[in-house]
Amino acid sequence: VPQHVWRINLDTPEEAHQNLSFGAADRWWEQTDLTKLILASNKLQCLSEDVQLLPALTVLDVHDNQLTSLPSALGQLENLQKLDVSHNKLERIPEELMQLAHLKSLLLQHNELSRLPDGFGQLVTLEELDLSNNRLTDIPTSFALLVNLVRLNLACNQLKNLPADISAMKSLRQLDCTKNYLETVPSKLATMASLEQLYLRRNKLRSLPEFPSCKFLKELHAGENQIEILNAESLKHLNSLSVLELRDNKIKSVPDEITLLQKLERLDLANNDISRLPYTLGNLPQLKFLALEGNPLRTIRRDLLQVSTRGSTQELLKYLRSKIQDDVTNPTEEPPVTAMTLPSESKINMHAITTLKLLDYSEKQAAVVPDEMFCAVQGHPVATVNFSKNQLKEVPPRIVELKDSVCDVNLGFNKISSISPELGILHKLTHLDIRNNLLTSLPEELVALARLQIINLSFNRFKAFPSVLYHIPALETILLSNNQVGSVDPLQLKKMDKLGTLDLQNNDLLQVPPELGNCENLRTLLLEGNPFRTPRAAILAKGTAAVLEYLRSRIPT
């Protein structure tokens, strides 16, 4: 560093010796002392002790140099608030640095530090401390005194444990311990009331800590560990959690208590040993992303597990909701209803109705849904109706009584041959599942379902694409596989600007209209198993974008 930089506050400027008639701009004796000095991204190997000649400095930035040590004179910069010495080759920190009584931000990442001064806790004004990518094996217990610290980054070191005293950091909101050798987390960590984000990825944890006091914890990242058991106790206090990332562990089961995390938006359980899930997971109201791929889940279709879009997560959640059984009842109740049970004897699951907002009468092989099921709902807003896997020949007429609350209706696996126009009254409906029935058409009255996002009509007897669907603009997913549909109208489909998934597999399409290529909102277009000649299988195999591009190239000009 040129010497005159250190002396900038002291020396009379050159021009003062030549020009003796000073204008207002030249009154050098009135200049203020230097407050910011940025020497980043140079090739400095040392800093002069003359840094003490700049006592007014509030910011000193020397990141990305080749410094192996720091001058002890730094400790005299009593106004310093931000010190950035990251991306250097520092092996130690001078004790004098602990005298900086106003320091708020200290950035030491990407150095070669193996230990820190014991007196580190003297930096009580610190709000941000980054020690990531060093060689630290332990943390001084005096860290407990850093009560104003908001962000602490300890990622990519060699820490085997954290001192329990760290829990005294009452202001800490973000703690990053990614990529260390932690086998446990001190139980006292659970008392850190301000903590919002906790990163524990890539350690050697065998279980998740319990967090009884972390009422504000919003994100918990603990992927790539060796966690085998997910305890209900670890979950039940995390009322504010929106992100729970546990991918690449050895978790075998997920406790029902996960449904207490009502604010959860992202849940990543990919690549674990989970063989079954609580179906009530489907009722988490805010969940937008659920990753389950790489688990031995035998009860869930493979295609549902390859989650990549918000639409496919919604499909998966809907599937889970459809599977909610009487396993949500109290285990002390009578044995479950069987095909031999008379409707009047059917046990009504009031817990499901009141708590889960679910009216479930599925897998009963029943020809009708008993009236007492609808009577039981009186006064309780039901969001989900599951009447699947029965012998119903029509939509139960009393379903219209639920019009002010029901969003999700599952009538799959029945013997329904026509849909009553009254279904159009369910104006809040977003999901409608009528797969595996005997339908040949849909009534035009369904155009009133203005909020309908997903409709599943697979395995029915449609010979034509139901024209009413073209006029429901909110539709995002249409599943029409395994029918006998002979044609689609590409111009009408193009107007459906929300439509992202269209499944027409195993139908009777003799040709694919080239104009379908203009439906550029489609992210998933499935056409396999139809008798058309083009596009050929090799193009279909390349995926939706390639198919749409091929179709556009065939539009006559």
Q: Tell me the mean pLDDT per 10 residues along the chain, length 557.
A: 90 62 56 91 96 96 97 96 97 95 97 95 96 96 94 97 88 96 86 90 89 83 93 80 95 87 93 87 89 83 62 80 56 39 53 86 91 88 93 94 94 95 94 95 96 95 96 95 94 94 93 93 91 88 91 91
Domain ranges for the chain? 61-68+83-92+103-326, 350-553
Amino acid 505 reads: Q
What pLDDT was estimated at residue 282?
A: 87
* 322 contacts 433 by C-beta, under 8 angstroms: yes
Residue 15: the pLDDT is 59
Q: Which residue has the tokens 């006064």?
A: 379
Q: What's the rounded Cα separation, in Å, for the pair 371 and 361? A: 11
What is the pLDDT at residue 236?
A: 76
Place of tokens 């659970």: 190
> What pLDDT, on the 0 to 100 scale, is given for residue 486?
94
DSSP-derived letter for residue 225 is S
Q: Are 112 and 127 in contact (CB under 8 A)?
A: no
CATH domain 350-553 topology: 3.80.10
Q: How far apart are CA 253 and CA 251, in angstroms?
A: 6
Of the candidates 409, 419, 408, 411, the one whose C-alpha atom is nearest the C-alpha of residue 392 is 411
Quote the CA–CA distance of 373 and 371 in Å, as a whole number: 5
Confidence at residue 432, expressed as pLDDT on a 0 to 100 scale = 96
Q: How many other CB atoms are found less than 10 A from the CB of residue 54?
A: 24
Instruction: Give CA angle at 206 (202, 208), nearest 5°.
Output: 85
The verdict on pTM exceeding 0.85 is: no
Whether 61-68+83-92+103-326 shares its CATH topology with 350-553 is answered yes
Distance CA(457)–CA(462), nearest Å, equals: 9
Query: One-letter amino acid identity for 191?
Result: T
**What is the distance between the alpha carbons of residues 366 and 413, in angstroms, rounded to a whole number?**
12
Distance CA 277, CA 324 (A): 11
pLDDT of residue 341: 39
Residue 515's pLDDT is: 94
Residue 60: partners with Cβ closer than 8 Å, 6 or more residues away: 37, 51, 74, 77, 80, 82, 83, 84
For residues 72 and 311, give the distance between their C-alpha atoms in angstroms, rounded to a whole number: 59
DSSP state of 495: H
Helical ranges in 225-268 per DSSP H: 232-235
pLDDT of residue 548: 95
In the three-class reduction of DSSP (H, G, I as helix; E, B as strand; rest coil), residue 473 is classed as coil
CA angle centred on 148, ends 147 and 154, rounded to 5°: 85
> Phi, psi at residue 260, to the nearest 5°?
-75, -15
Tokens of 322: 């459809």
Type of residue found at 323: K
b/e per residue, 276-293, with b = 16+ CB within 10 A?
ebbbbbbbbeebebbbbe
Topology (CATH level 3) of domain 61-68+83-92+103-326: 3.80.10
